Amino acid sequence: MEFEVKSPILGFENVTKVKLEKIDDIFMKLTNSNAQTPSFTLVNPFALREYSFEIPTALQVLLELDENKSNNILIANIMVVYKDIKDSTINFRAPLVFNFDNQTMAQVVLDIMQYQEYGIAEPISSFLKEEK
């Protein structure tokens, strides 16, 4: 599904349309609809940890989120994938919010003072269960 970028992904301000593809219940792929790059691996944070934050009012307006009705939204985080999956990292400080109702998306940059428990490069290994 394609989404219009309402608030840019940091460092990729020229990307205006993206395509989101589900890989499985945890992972997704996000690609630029208008070029070959960039391409991101996304992760469902709720499958890994407790995760909550406030979407700033300005972004709620941009995404047309309505607190009086149930919005069809998805929250995902960018993951930097390394050859050994255990070395991969997740950015919990800048989640992506997708509104499926109107196919818009935006990146939220969380205030470090308010959300100290979330890092920008947390290793996925700290969330993986060891197999015995």
CATH of the domain at 115: 2.30.290.10
Mean pLDDT across 21-29: 95
Both tokens assigned to 122: 């947390």
d(CA 41, CA 30): 6
Q: Is residue 130 part of a domain?
A: no
Residue 76's CB: how many other CB atoms inside 10 A? 21
Q: Is residue 22 part of a domain?
A: yes
Q: Is residue 89 part of a domain?
A: yes
Q: Which candidate, 69, 42, 43, 66, places its Cα nearest to that of 55?
A: 66
Percentage of the residues of the chain whose pLDDT score is greater than 90 = 83
d(CA 109, CA 55): 9
pLDDT digit string (tens) for 56-108? 999 999 999 987 776 799 999 999 999 988 899 999 999 999 999 999 999 99
Residues 19 and 1 sit within 8 Å (Cβ to Cβ): yes
Bond prior to 95 in cis (omega within 30° of 0): no
Q: Which residue range forms the structural domain that includes residue 53?
A: 2-125
Mean pLDDT across 7-27: 94
- The whole-number pLDDT of residue 67 equals 74
Q: Is residue 132 part of a domain?
A: no
- The whole-number pLDDT of residue 3 equals 97
Q: Is residue 131 part of a domain?
A: no
d(CA 131, CA 86): 13
Q: Is residue 69 part of a domain?
A: yes
Q: Is residue 118 part of a domain?
A: yes
Q: Is residue 100 part of a domain?
A: yes
Number of domains comprising the chain: 1
Categorize the per-residue pLDDT at 130 as very low, low, confident or very high, splitting at 50, 70 and 90. low
